[in-house]
Amino acid sequence: MTSAAATSGAFTSSTTTSTVAEDDLIPLSALQHYLFCPRQCALIHVEQQWEENLYTAEGRILHRKTEVQDALSRGDDRIVHGMAIRSFALGVAGIADVVELRRAGGALQPFPVEYKRGRPKVHRADEVQLCAQALCLEEMFEVRIAEGALFYGKTRRRKTVPLDEDLRTLTRQVAAATRAMIASGRTPPPIYDKKRCDTCSMLGICRPQRLSRHSSVGAWLARHVDKA
Amino acid sequence: MRRLLNTLYVTTQGAWVSKDGANVVVSVDGSERGRVPVHTLGSIVCFGRVSMSAPLMGACAETGVCIAYLSESGRFLARVEGPVSGNVLLRREQYRRTDDSDATAAIVRSIVVGKTLNHRTVLRRVLRDHGESLDPSNCEAVVAAAERLKDIARRALRPQPADSLRGLEGEAGLVYFGVFNHLIRQDKDSFRFVRRSRRPPLDPVNAVLSFLYTLVVHDCRGALEGVGLDPAVGFLHRDRPGRPSLALDLMEEFRAPLADRLALSLINRRQLTAREFRSEQNGATLLTDDGRKAVLVAYQERKRDEITHPFLEEKMAMGLLFHVQALLLARHLRRDLDEYPPFLWR
């Protein structure tokens, strides 16, 4: 309790200096979108567009499941679902699916668990999102977090992820790049990649195949007038 | 791709529209007349004396179903709006472009070329399907008008200020409506077209056209709001309080395929006859209840027709065109596309 009081005290005293930073926090989920595809990230977080498809609906339902069983206790550990977290250093804010609060000596040691619909992936987007959560929790609980876990719906397995320096550096870089892109307010041009794009719920809004041809619309229009 | 959602048109006077669980229920004098799941709807359009429950309006605002109130004759009265969708950056860009004369002219050019070519397609299709049965002098006039429309489209391609493009649009309208009467092949006594009259429509042809245009504007407006554009701030149509200028801009390409062609089919197939119209003492001509229903059903069917989108080169229902064109306009404003590609109907 004392540490919680101290945190809130520190928070109150720094309110005036942190207000702007709080406004500027970007959604935690944006980092993962950015790693998947910067344009998808811009469509969602700059243009505020969203299309649901089968995959996003499954993910949403999976997340809802993690939210219903609130604050389960297991022995001495508490399991908190849907914890609001943020980091001023990273400049992100969001919700952690599951944080296990483990007792280590007298202190609470948070352990983040992120739920994913699919299976482990080759790219590191899931790891980065988990690491960002851990960096938030480290800032809020003033602790060091050595590892977290990813839970995959398809394999129904938990995969422990060590939060090493490489992953932390990558996470900070991605956060900076994402923040810069969102601050610019510009959507990067599309690059069609069949494997990636065909699973993307934003495909209908993004139109990568047509829009990445870079043909001039004026020339297209003139051709149609000509052959009319 | 977005699904084509239905529009629920409530035309029965005195109807009560309410929410029952996830359904929209229409009842008249306490007895249920119809029921549809709300998630299958894109919008609800009420004509005349129709009432709606507040919980239903709330549910529609939340799920993005547009609600519009029109007078019994189809004049726009009001709409129920949820939170403003889309984002401020896009709207700001829209306003900046409307203040920039070159950027405005580029968009107006696309709209005018699209509209003019689509008008021409109406004429070409009549010549193709019924050329032989037309009176030779009328046929000649239609051929000449089609040629002039092509010429106007070609002239509209050249770089020029928006005002001269507006002039070309006016010219195209005169050429097209100048031969419109030749396209009517049935009951030429009841359906004689002389010129466009809107406020109010003075003859049956104008009454059908005006009614269809109202439906198209409503769909355009919903599509623009859906992609986050401000339907009130246009390029071809300049700002006027209360006028949905951008919706009117977007509508230009759809007049020919979705309204004019449909009006001609309804008349030429005798799905509309003189019985479906009534005249007021001031000369205003209105569709009767049955006439309106026939037009609404035909419009809904028309929106389900499949076409290949000329720019995106994919098959889609015509009803999705509003959304797709609004999206392409937004993509142009966001600089994904160097110009706005209008819908070209072939």
What ipTM describes this predicted complex? 0.76
Whether residue A157 lies within 8 A of chain B, CB to CB, comes out as no
Range with the poorest average pLDDT among A23-37, A96-110, B137-151: A96-110
Q: Please say whether the beta carbons of A217 and B303 come within 8 A.
A: no
Q: What's the pLDDT at A168?
A: 96
Whether residue B120 lies within 8 A of chain A, CB to CB, comes out as yes
A187 contacts in chain B (CB < 8 Å): 334, 336
Which single residue is written with the structure tokens 């490489």? A166
Task: Give the model's confidence band at B162: pLDDT under 50 very low, under 70 low, under 90 confident, else very high.
Answer: very high
Instruction: With a cut of 60, say whether residue B2 has pLDDT above it.
Output: no
Selected residue with higher pLDDT from B185 and B56 = B56
Instruction: With a cut of 60, say whether residue A214 has pLDDT above it.
Output: no
Centre a 10 Å sphere on the Cβ of residue B141 and count the other Cβ atoms it contains.
Answer: 17
Q: Please say whether the beta carbons of B210 and B74 come within 8 A.
A: yes
Q: Please say whether the beta carbons of A50 and A44 come within 8 A.
A: yes
Whether B339 and A189 lie within 8 Å, measured CB to CB: no
Q: What's the pLDDT at B77?
A: 76
Identify the closest residue of chain A to B85 by CA–CA distance. Answer: A48
Whether A228 and B334 lie within 8 Å, measured CB to CB: no
Task: Give the model's confidence band at B74: pLDDT under 50 very low, under 70 low, under 90 confident, else very high.
Answer: low
Q: Please say whether the beta carbons of B126 and B186 come within 8 A.
A: no
A185 contacts in chain B (CB < 8 Å): 89
Read off the tokens for B125: 């299709």
Rounded Cα gap, residues A151 and A164, in angstroms:
19
Q: What's the pLDDT at A5?
A: 38
Q: What percent of chain B has pLDDT over 70?
A: 96
What tens digit of pLDDT does each residue of B4-42 get?
Answer: 567 788 878 899 999 998 899 999 998 999 898 888 887
The residue type found at B225 is E
Whether B150 and A225 lie within 8 Å, measured CB to CB: yes
Nearest to B312 among A210, A217, A225 (CB): A210
Q: What's the pLDDT at A169?
A: 95
Whether residue B344 lies within 8 A of chain A, CB to CB, comes out as yes
Q: How far is B87 from chain A (nearest CA, A)?
A: 6
A222 contacts in chain B (CB < 8 Å): 157
**Average pLDDT of the segment spanning B179-192:** 85
Q: What's the pLDDT at A57?
A: 58
**Average pLDDT of the segment spanning B178-190:** 86
Centre a 10 Å sphere on the Cβ of residue A12 and count the other Cβ atoms it contains.
Answer: 9
Q: What's the pLDDT at A61?
A: 61
Rounded Cα gap, residues B170 and B238, in angstroms:
15
Task: Give the model's confidence band at A10: pLDDT under 50 very low, under 70 low, under 90 confident, else very high.
Answer: very low
Task: Give the model's confidence band at A200: pLDDT under 50 very low, under 70 low, under 90 confident, else very high.
Answer: confident
Q: What's the pLDDT at B17?
A: 95
Task: Give the model's confidence band at B83: pLDDT under 50 very low, under 70 low, under 90 confident, else very high.
Answer: low
Whether B87 and A218 lie within 8 Å, measured CB to CB: no
pTM exceeds cut of 0.80: no
Which of the residues A51, A205, A221, A226 would you substitute to probe the B interface, choosing the one with the greatest number of B C-beta atoms within 10 Å?
A: A221
**Average pLDDT of the segment spanning A196-212:** 80
Q: Which helix (H) or strand (E) segment is B152 a member of? A: helix B136-157
Range with the poorest average pLDDT among A90-99, A207-216, B217-226: A207-216
CA neighbor of A135 nearest in space, from A172, A104, A106: A172
Q: How far is B39 from chain A (nearest CA, A)?
A: 13
Listed by number, the residues of chain B in 193-252 with a beta carbon closer than 8 Å to a beta carbon of chain A are 227-228
Q: What's the pLDDT at A19?
A: 39
Range with the poorest average pLDDT among A151-155, B187-191, B210-214: B187-191
Beta bridge partners of B10: B46
Whether residue A222 lies within 8 A of chain B, CB to CB, comes out as yes
Whether B113 and A204 lie within 8 Å, measured CB to CB: no
Task: Give the model's confidence band at A7: pLDDT under 50 very low, under 70 low, under 90 confident, else very high.
Answer: very low
Read off the tokens for B97: 């472009």
Contacts of residue B238, Cβ cutoff 8 Å, sequence gap at least 6: B245
**Average pLDDT of the segment spanning B254-275:** 92
What tens digit of pLDDT does each residue of B99-136 get?
Answer: 999 999 999 999 999 999 999 999 999 999 887 888 88
Residue B37, SS3 per DSSP: strand
Instruction: With a cut of 60, say whether residue A2 has pLDDT above it.
Output: no
Strands A107-116 and A92-104: antiparallel
Q: How far is A131 from chain B (nearest CA, A)?
A: 30
Give a three-class secondary structure readout of chain A.
CHHHHHHHHHHHHCHHHHHHHHHHCEECHHHHHHHHCHHHHHHHHCCCCCCCCHHHHHHHHHHHHHHHCCCEEECCEEEEEEEEEEECCCCEEEEEEEEEEEEECCEEEEEEEEEECCCCCCCCHHHHHHHHHHHHHHHHHCCCCCEEEEEECCCCEEEEEECCHHHHHHHHHHHHHHHHHHHHCCCCCCCCCHHHHCCCCCHHHHCHHHHCCCCCHHHHHHHHHHCC
Q: How far is B320 from chain A (nearest CA, A)?
A: 12
Whether B117 and A228 lie within 8 Å, measured CB to CB: yes
Listed by number, the residues of chain A in 49-108 with a beta carbon closer than 8 Å to a beta carbon of chain B are 49, 51
Q: What's the pLDDT at A65?
A: 57
Whether residue B90 lies within 8 A of chain A, CB to CB, comes out as yes
> Taking all residues of chain B, what is their mean pLDDT, rounded to a whole number?
88
Read off the tokens for A161: 């992820």
Torsion of the alpha carbons at B296, B301, B302 and B305, rounded to the nearest 10: 170
Q: Which helix (H) or strand (E) segment is B28 a member of? A: strand B23-28
Whether B339 and A218 lie within 8 Å, measured CB to CB: yes
Selected residue with higher pLDDT from A169 and B38 = A169
- Integer distance in angstroms from the first to the last C-alpha of chain A? 77
Instruction: With a cut of 60, say whether residue A113 has pLDDT above it.
Output: yes
- Count Cβ–Cβ pairs < 8 Å, chain A vs chain B: 66
Range with the poorest average pLDDT among A47-56, A119-128, B46-55, B167-176: A47-56
Identify the closest residue of chain A to B159 by CA–CA distance. Answer: A218
Q: What's the pLDDT at A119?
A: 77
Read off the tokens for B76: 């726009």
**Average pLDDT of the segment spanning B212-237:** 89
Q: What percent of chain B has pLDDT over 90?
A: 47
Whether residue A211 lies within 8 A of chain B, CB to CB, comes out as yes
Sign of the alpha-carbon torsion through B144, B150, B151, B153 = positive
Rounded Cα gap, residues B212 and B304, in angstroms:
16
Q: How far is B312 from chain A (nearest CA, A)?
A: 6
Q: Please say whether the beta carbons of A18 and A10 come within 8 A.
A: no
Q: What percent of chain A has pLDDT over 90?
A: 32
Which of the residues A192, A210, A223 would you substitute to probe the B interface, choosing the one with the greatest number of B C-beta atoms within 10 Å?
A: A210
Centre a 10 Å sphere on the Cβ of residue B161 and count the other Cβ atoms it contains.
Answer: 13
Read off the tokens for B344: 């070209």
Range with the poorest average pLDDT among A54-63, A194-203, B191-200, B305-314: A54-63
